[in-house]
A and B are shown apart, each in its own frame.
Chain A
Amino acid sequence: MIVGASCRSRLPPFHFKEESVVNVVYLVSVLWKSVKMLRRVVARGLWSGHGAVRTSVEQRNKEIRTHQDIAAKLLVGWRSCDGFRGLHVTPSCYKTQDRKEMLASMPVKDEGTEGEVTQGLDTSLEGSGGMFPDEDTPNLLCDGVRFADLPILHARVSKNNTMLTLTDGKGMVKLYRSCGVEGFKNAKKGTNIAAQATAISLATRALNQGIKTVRVKVSGIGPGRMAAVKGLTMGGLNVVSITDDTPISFNYSQRPRKARKL
């Protein structure tokens, strides 16, 4: 039993330290200031929202003289959300707008399909300057070799990788290069730079083997679609034709996986 102790004190005796008191006082003052600030901000937001709503509605009503302008009248309620985000109006008005902005700000996917959307008149395709094959094309001679016997370069393109296979006219594989084989890893494989580098490497190897002229077969959509074929010419190969062999089905043979939720 402690002599002189009050009945209340079950707690250990409180030592009066100046530092701790100062700390406590400081904390309390900060908290109080922040509470006051928050209150001010909220109030301003509410009041500005309210006030602005009132003023904008009044303005709009003054502008609309005729009662026939139904569309404009309908817009009044919507427009009241314009320009100021009061706390109470933010969620509902801005959902679609924010979503559109978010989708627009996302980086554009490179699918290698340049020229898909062209503005301007559709040129007539009569003859088209010998751009399209006809019944004589298989017998055409390119560098002394029949077109139908030329080696084929299969470019299989996906959004994550590009794979190039060089075969002879019949389909026997001679060379195979892909972005992974080149040394690119993971996400870097799915770039046009990687596809170009792969194509250049394959072109040099093909030239070493004595293959100079080639017809290209592209399959799929992705960054390497344009870049791989460009890289072949940069590497020195002679490209005679480009065919598209993307597997297009109108009913799924194998059900693909479900779509990503954005």
Chain B
Amino acid sequence: MGVGPRHVQFVARTVLVKKNNVEEGMRVLNRLMGKEGLLDRYRLTRHYEKPTQMRRRVNFEKAKAIYNEDMDRKIALVMRKNRLNPWVGSA
């Protein structure tokens, strides 16, 4: 589906709907596509992105990724403690 080598129709990017609960299905689909970055990619292609803008965006994303990785590691370190239940609040 989409431009270029097509994905398998009705198998990729598909959500099965139960009892006509369309809203739930649509939300799941949107969430997955959002997480993958496909919706943002689509929004970018609506208008032409000049090479200078593309370079700025890519560099910003690289810097953000580095920061996020280091921050996640820091959080993981801080969370590491000898507790009976280290993940309080989750199932």
**Which B residues lie within 8 Å of A220 (CB)?**
42
Contact (Cβ within 8 A) A114 B30: yes
Contact (Cβ within 8 A) B48 A257: yes
Distance (whole angstroms) from the CB of B83 to the closest CB of chain A: 19
Distance (whole angstroms) from the CB of B26 to the closest CB of chain A: 6
Instruction: Name which of B14, B34, B42, B47 has the most chain A CB atoms within 10 A of its CB.
Output: B14
A242, A248, A249: the one within 8 Å of B22 (CB): A242
Contact (Cβ within 8 A) B14 A252: no
Contact (Cβ within 8 A) B34 A113: yes
B3, B38, B48: the one within 8 Å of A253 (CB): B3
**B-side interface mostly:** mixed
Instruction: Name which of B4, B16, B20 has the most chain A CB atoms within 10 A of its CB.
Output: B16
**Which B residues lie within 8 Å of A217 (CB)?**
10
Chain B: how many interface residues by the 8 Å CB criterion? 37
**Which B residues lie within 8 Å of A29 (CB)?**
none
Flag the segment in A15-23, A40-48, A228-236 that touches B. Answer: A228-236
**Which A residues lie within 8 Å of B4 (CB)?**
249
Contact (Cβ within 8 A) B14 A247: no
Bound complex: CA A11 to CA B25 (Å): 89
**Which A residues lie within 8 Å of B10 (CB)?**
133, 137-138, 147-148, 215, 217, 241, 243
Given contacts A115-B26, A242-B22, A245-B1, contact A258 B9 (CB under 8 A): no
B1, B14, B42: the one within 8 Å of A242 (CB): B14
Bound complex: CA A138 to CA B16 (Å): 12
Contact (Cβ within 8 A) A243 B34: no
Distance (whole angstroms) from the CB of A211 to the closest CB of chain B: 15
Distance (whole angstroms) from the CB of B50 to the closest CB of chain A: 8
Bound complex: CA A247 to CA B1 (Å): 7
A238, A240, A246, A256: the one within 8 Å of B2 (CB): A246
Contact (Cβ within 8 A) A241 B45: no
Chain A: how many interface residues by the 8 Å CB criterion? 47
Contact (Cβ within 8 A) A226 B16: no
B58 interface contact, C-beta 8 A: no
Q: Which residue of A lies closest to B15 (CB)?
A: A242
Contact indicator per residue, chain A 129-151, by CB within 8 Å of chain B (1) or not (0)? 11111000110000000011000
Residues of chain B in range 4-20 having any CB-CB distance to chain A below 8 Å: 4, 9-11, 13-18, 20
Interface residues in chain A, defined as those with a beta carbon under 8 Å from any beta carbon in chain B: 113-118, 121, 129-133, 137-138, 147-148, 215, 217, 220-221, 225-226, 229-230, 232-233, 238-250, 252-253, 255-260
Interface residues in chain B, defined as those with a beta carbon under 8 Å from any beta carbon in chain A: 1-4, 9-11, 13-18, 20, 22-23, 25-31, 33-34, 38-39, 41-43, 45-49, 90-91
| The 6 nearest A-B residue pairs measured at CB | A115-B27, A116-B34, A259-B47, A115-B30, A244-B13, A249-B3
29 contacts between A and B (CB under 8 A): A113-B34, A114-B26, A114-B30, A115-B30, A115-B31, A116-B31, A129-B18, A130-B18, A131-B16, A137-B11, A137-B16, A221-B42, A221-B43, A226-B26, A229-B22, A229-B26, A230-B22, A232-B22, A233-B20, A240-B17, A243-B1, A244-B1, A245-B13, A246-B39, A247-B42, A248-B42, A249-B3, A252-B48, A259-B48
